[in-house]
Homo-oligomer: A and B are copies of this chain.
């Protein structure tokens, strides 16, 4: 097992009818900015319910945080925070709203150019660069990214997507009521299953490090997502399926399953470029890149791919490569069973665009990806070709 630190102070408030606990978990007398997306939380009445729970606190609103939240949008919220002396942020939405709110929390207290915060990649923004952030609470409406229980965000700026990690941005609390997801569009639910699935494989299908509990936990999340995936997509008001989807998605990226084991994240980094260039949903990019990644990297990831085949998909017969082929095929079938296509060509991406994607990867410094840093642009190119 590798050495690790694990720290996660977010208070999770999970279950039916928990929304009215927003009030008692928000500091008395706080000046609160409620942040949300492009309207569904507002239209459904959820924002009003949250404001009711906040009682007589001074509450401001900032709506319009888009999927893949943009720097320019978030800086408008920063202006409100500064003008209105906001001291608590309450994000109501999915991963994009929560990610965006984390950036607002950091940028509002950052005295230099907040674009500085985009420069640290998957490394934590050092505390001597940004050592304070406004406190955040969240009300989750979309199980997918895990942002409700981690200190990471992904921010879009110009033609790039930039990870921003900082320990000050763990939410103080997150309300996870699976019933709040009942009105989601089907595609978002399906994307959420894929996102949680690939968060898990990024921390699991690497090389063996004798992290036995970590491996079992990762396999448990994957098996759960496989068990409930189709149901949670097709039965919008199936509470049990949504509850298992939501808790699995949170645990897939709260630091736990990656503690003490290698982590890859190349599928995400390549996927980010595809979203930035072609506007393909994040989950869809992952569904297209992962099967290709596993295929091209089968020798490097062989031991864990065989473990994945056996323990997650119950594949017990065949040669090693046959088992790996079957596991990749099962993965692809699973994504497709949710209604998520797994070929870039099906999203309208033409093969002649691949060199431009590679140039963007290089421009963003993504030239040494993977759990060992050996995934060069040449290999990324092969993966993209395989993903067509």
Binding site for B on A (CB under 8 A): 1-16, 18, 210-217, 219-221, 223-224, 227-228, 240, 243-244, 247-248, 251, 256, 259-260
Contacts and interface: CB of A to CB of B under 8 A. Distances in A.
A248 B259 CA distance: 13
A216 B221 contact: yes
Contact of A220 (B5, B217, B248): B217
A24 to B, nearest CB: 12
Contact of A212 (B7, B15, B228): B228
B6 A240 contact: no
Contacts of A259: 12, 14
Given A1-B240, A8-B8, A15-B3, A247 B210 contact: no
Contacts of A251: 213
Given A219-B220, A220-B219, A244-B210, A11 B5 contact: yes
B4 A14 contact: yes
Contacts of A18: 3
Contacts of A9: 7-9
A223 B228 contact: no
17 contacts: A1-B240, A1-B244, A1-B247, A3-B14, A3-B16, A4-B14, A5-B12, A8-B9, A14-B259, A14-B260, A210-B240, A210-B244, A213-B251, A216-B216, A216-B223, A217-B220, A247-B260
Nearest to A210: B240
A234 to B, nearest CB: 17
